Copies of this chain bind each other. A is one copy, B any other.
Amino acid sequence: MSSFLRVVRIEEARAALEKRWRSRPRVVEVPLGEAAGRVLAEDVFSRIDVPPFDRAAFDGYAVRAADTFGAGEESPIELTRVGSVRAGEWPKFKISRGQCAEIDTGAPVPRGANAVVMLEYSMARAKVVRVFRAVAPGENIAERGSEVKRGTKVLKAGKMVTPQTLGTLAAIGRKHIKVYSPPKVAVVSSGIELVGAGSPLKRGKIYDVNGPAICRAVELCGGEASYLGIARDEPRSLAIILKRGLATCDVVVLSGGSSAGVGDVAPSVVDELGNPGVLVHGLALRPGKPTFVALVRDKPVFGLPGYPVSALMVFDQLVAPYLRHLSGLPPAERERVRARLASKILSARGRREFVPVKLVRRGREVHAEPLLKGSGAITALSLADGYVDVPLEREIVGEGEVVEVNLFGGVEVA
């Protein structure tokens, strides 16, 4: 609890945590159907040739190419049909000189044959097939292994499992695949005044907002959220629920119901749950003062501000990068958009500030409207699409200036 109450920059907070804890992505093997949306944790090599046999690329006749030399529209050559091969069948016969076999697109080319004459360049009557065009060896055949040779690397670890990835894995016959396992995150709300969503609201109580919001934010970083419910803001109740979180999850995220956040009671409770305890308490960031970062043995515990938009912004900066890393996801590079500031932002010099904004498309341009501090927590929450990061040396960001907006997860710029 050495840094207790020494307000630090967010980078220092991260460094303090990373000095003692390294986020180690966990690997798990799952059936293809469960891999969707996750990230590959292995380089994938094919154990088979694709296609696994020489296949006809068109409907037509499997032939020996040499037999067709000299064939032309005016000078067809004649071959004897000795059988037919449908797709999915395995031909038992062999093509000898002067012979051919009817063949479907995708069907295996019979032994002896080394080319396919397309249907439109042939004419059949009973067992006699006339060929009106010469073919070269290999023509109209997809050779065994021509797509993927056995032993080739077809996918790289770190790739998101997309429809294309699933198709590729299916093509090489994989049934299971190693992906990064979603980190388990315990989400706890703290505040004796809080009531769970949808329960009757007794006098003096308010609904818990952060619990459901943070759970979804966790999922959007590839995590598996476990909402442990509401702790009374006092040591015994907090200790019980935090212990449960630490026992069942990889990371614990706690947030308060009041604007004061969980700053009052939680840090000292966390400190007693195990070493090293609280590493950072208070960020030199607006909002961020009530934030804390702790490590209980090998599991991080994050305490977030109570004001919902603040909780989400601090989550995005402080917690999300670790969850994305644990999930194998790339850093959230893409989740930023450039937008024109619709009205100026005044910020305190010497303090970094996150200002929530709403995005509005005007013609071809995207405008960012700062949500005024006067607006209620819930109004701000329902309108915010993301936030602008105002560095500590800036006092004013002018109207019309182009700024970078950090998007909240799941937001579409309509």
Contacts and interface: CB of A to CB of B under 8 A. Distances in A.
28 contacts: A32-B197, A50-B378, A52-B206, A58-B260, A87-B204, A89-B204, A104-B258, A106-B257, A107-B193, A108-B204, A147-B376, A147-B377, A148-B379, A160-B412, A161-B410, A163-B214, A163-B215, A163-B216, A164-B213, A164-B382, A169-B197, A171-B207, A171-B209, A171-B378, A174-B198, A176-B198, A330-B414, A333-B414
A229 B53 CA distance: 23
Nearest to A164: B381
A154 B382 contact: yes
A318 interface: no
A25 interface: no
A166 B89 CA distance: 54
Kindly name the residue among A165, A330, A381 whose own CB sees the greatest number of chain B CB atoms within 10 A: A381
A98 interface: no
A48 interface: yes
Q: Which 3 A-B pairs have the closest CB atoms?
A: A175-B198, A147-B376, A167-B213
A334 B412 contact: yes
Given A204-B90, A377-B147, A162 B59 contact: no
A30 interface: no
Given A89-B192, A106-B191, A164-B309, 6 more contacts: A106-B193, A107-B193, A162-B411, A164-B312, A173-B198, A334-B413
A408 interface: yes
A203 to B, nearest CB: 4
Contacts of A334: 412-413
Contact of A379 (B88, B147, B410): B147
A165 B357 CA distance: 15
Contacts of A413: 333-334
A36 interface: yes
A32 B216 CA distance: 11
A258 B108 CA distance: 12
A220 interface: yes
Interface residues of A, number: 96
Kindly name the residue among A51, A106, A411, A414 whose own CB sees the greatest number of chain B CB atoms within 10 A: A106
Contacts of A148: 376, 378-379
Contact of A168 (B147, B173, B382): B382
A175 B196 CA distance: 9
What is the predominant secondary structure among interface residues of chain A facing chain B?
A: loop
A166 B216 contact: yes
A163 B87 contact: no
Nearest to A31: B198
A210 B36 CA distance: 15
A50 B206 contact: yes
Given A148-B378, A154-B382, A209 B163 contact: no
Given A162-B411, A408-B163, A257 B87 contact: yes
A212 B378 contact: no
A105 interface: yes
Contacts of A37: 410
Given A379-B147, A379-B148, A411 B170 contact: no
Nearest to A379: B147
Interface string A285-303: 0000000000000000000
Contact of A90 (B53, B86, B203, B206): B203
Nearest to A309: B164
